[in-house]
């Protein structure tokens, strides 16, 4: 019996436009008609000799702190903007390959950017999209995308305030009539919290921990407010005095203290944005409340501390990690309707 010729699996190729939430910590991709198809860390593993990319996303994240001298892991985005152009291109192209996009396809792309970026930084994002074979690249500000993704009708003359706590930046925006009225962007967010925990162990316990362990501690027992739970966590690291591995047990309250500075900085930024809000929109906000989005909004008690210090109701968006990409995807699916919000 003659053997069957194996044809390339072109029937599984995807066609269509894509929306990208290019974040410092995670990159999410929305494929038109399919929704979120990629949700992976913004990490690249590369050869130190020739910059050849070895892995992107989840596979690269697993290598962080565990590579040998021939390979290094990098995060091509820092503080919400592109820090390494070549690696950002490689990462984007790696993710696009993962979604099996037809190589001949020239999709339209909508990519979100932090609201405080410069013209040069915007151009860099556009160029990266074009090098990933896009036919047209549109940009949208992250807080605006988050508001759309949450389901707010931003075209109405009503004030809404979004606090998007990402990996590299916290963005606070008051939105009305399809535009940002007041904005406040600080380069303090999830990454700074991880760094604060790492420094705390170094200073208070003379223990060197990796950034992955620091993030794990924050997610497991981190909080912005004192609570009555007596949670503890076992922390593994290297003793800075003896140089040998060691495990210590710490309380959740100690981690709350470690996170105090970044949390206070975020609360103060929210207060500054409120101070610059026109009175009519401030009245809307008082009635409608503050909406939190982004991965940092999952820190226990962060909604409570903002509520206590502003006297304004605070709500965390449903699936806060997906608000921005969902909004960017909704814009992509209806470019005509949302053309006013595109940059």
Same domain, 235 and 100: no
Nearest Cα neighbor of 259 from 173, 205, 169, 188 is 188
Within-domain flag for 3 = no
pLDDT tens-digit map of 204-214: 999 999 988 99
**pLDDT the model gives residue 5:** 41
Contact 275, 240 (CB under 8 A): no
180: containing domain: 154-188+261-318
Kindly compute the dihedral angle of the four CA atoms of residues 127, 131, 134, 138, in this order, to the nearest 10 degrees: -10
User: Domain for residue 288, yes or no?
Assistant: yes
Determine, yes or no, domain membership for 4. no
* 3-13 tens-digit pLDDT: 444 444 444 45
Same domain, 251 and 271: no
Question: Looking at the 3D structure of the chain, how many domains does it have?
Answer: 3
Residue 118's pLDDT band, with cuts at 50, 70 and 90, is confident
Residue 20, token pair as written in the block? 């990208």
Question: Domain check: are 298 and 217 in the same one?
Answer: no
Residue 343 pLDDT:
85
For the chain, list the strands marked E by DSSP: 18-22, 26-31, 35-41, 44-47, 53-56, 71-74, 77-78, 81-82, 108-113, 136-141, 160-165, 170-176, 179-186, 207-208, 232-239, 245-251, 290-293, 314-316
More confident residue, 157 or 2: 157
- Give pLDDT, residue 13: 52
* DSSP 3-state of 191: helix
Q: What Rg value do the Cα atoms of the chain yield, rounded?
A: 22
Higher pLDDT, 93 or 197: 197
Torsion-angle region of 16 (φ positive above 0: left; ψ -120 to 50: alpha; else: beta): left
Q: Please name every residue paired with 71 in a beta bridge, in sequence order, or none if there are none.
A: 47
Q: Is 133 in the same domain as 165?
A: no
Dist. CA 187–CA 303, nearest whole Å: 19
**Per-residue model confidence (pLDDT) at position 252:** 92
Specify whether the CB–CB gap between 31 and 37 falls below 8 A.
yes
Tens of pLDDT along 146-198? 999 999 999 999 999 999 999 999 999 999 999 899 999 999 999 999 999 99
| pLDDT value at residue 6 | 43
Give the 3-state secondary structure of residue 193.
Answer: helix
Sheet of 26-31: strand order equals: 35-41, 26-31, 18-22, 108-113, 136-141
**119/82 same-domain check:** yes
What number is the average pLDDT over the span 303-317? 96
In this structure, what CATH number is given to the domain that contains residue 160? 3.30.420.40
- Give residue 132's pLDDT: 85
- pLDDT, mean over the chain: 90
247 and 286 share one domain: no
pLDDT tens string 212-248: 899 999 999 999 998 777 788 999 999 999 999 999 9
pLDDT of residue 114: 84
């Amino acid at each position: 019996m003659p053997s069957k010729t194996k044809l390339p699996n072109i029937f599984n190729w995807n066609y269509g436009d894509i929306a990208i939430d290019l974040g410092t910590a995670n990159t999410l991709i929305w494929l038109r008609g399919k929704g979120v198809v990629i949700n992976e860390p913004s990490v690249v593993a590369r050869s130190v000799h020739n910059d050849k990319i070895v892995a992107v996303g989840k596979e690269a994240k697993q290598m962080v702190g565990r590579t040998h001298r021939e390979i290094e892991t990098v995060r091509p985005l820092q503080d919400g903007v592109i820090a390494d152009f070549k690696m950002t291109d490689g990462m984007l192209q790696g993710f696009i390959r993962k979604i099996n996009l037809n190589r001949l396809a020239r999709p339209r792309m909508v990519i979100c950017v932090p609201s405080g970026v410069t013209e040069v930084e915007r151009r860099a994002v556009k160029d990266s999209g074009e090098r990933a074979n896009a036919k047209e690249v549109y940009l949208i500000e992250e807080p605006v995308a988050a508001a759309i993704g949450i389901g707010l009708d931003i075209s109405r003359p009503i004030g809404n305030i979004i606090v998007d706590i990402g990996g590299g930046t916290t963005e606070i925006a008051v939105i009305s009539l399809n535009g940002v009225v007041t904005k406040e962007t600080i380069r303090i967010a999830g990454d700074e919290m991880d760094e604060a925990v790492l420094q705390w162990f170094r200073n208070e316990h003379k223990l060197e921990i990796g950034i992955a362990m620091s993030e794990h501690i924050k997610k497991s027992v981190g909080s912005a407010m004192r609570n009555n739970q007596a949670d503890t966590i076992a922390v593994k690291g290297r003793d800075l005095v003896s140089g040998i591995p060691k495990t210590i047990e710490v309380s959740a309250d100690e981690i709350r203290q470690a996170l105090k500075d970044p949390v206070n900085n975020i609360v103060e930024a929210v207060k500054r944005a409120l101070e610059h809000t026109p009175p009519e929109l401030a009245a809307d906000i008082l009635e409608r409340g503050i909406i939190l989005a982004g991965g940092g909004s999952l820190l226990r008690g962060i909604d409570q501390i903002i509520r206590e210090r502003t006297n304004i109701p605070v709500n965390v968006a449903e699936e806060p990690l997906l608000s921005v990409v969902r909004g960017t995807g909704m814009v992509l699916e209806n470019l005509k309707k949302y053309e006013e919000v595109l940059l």
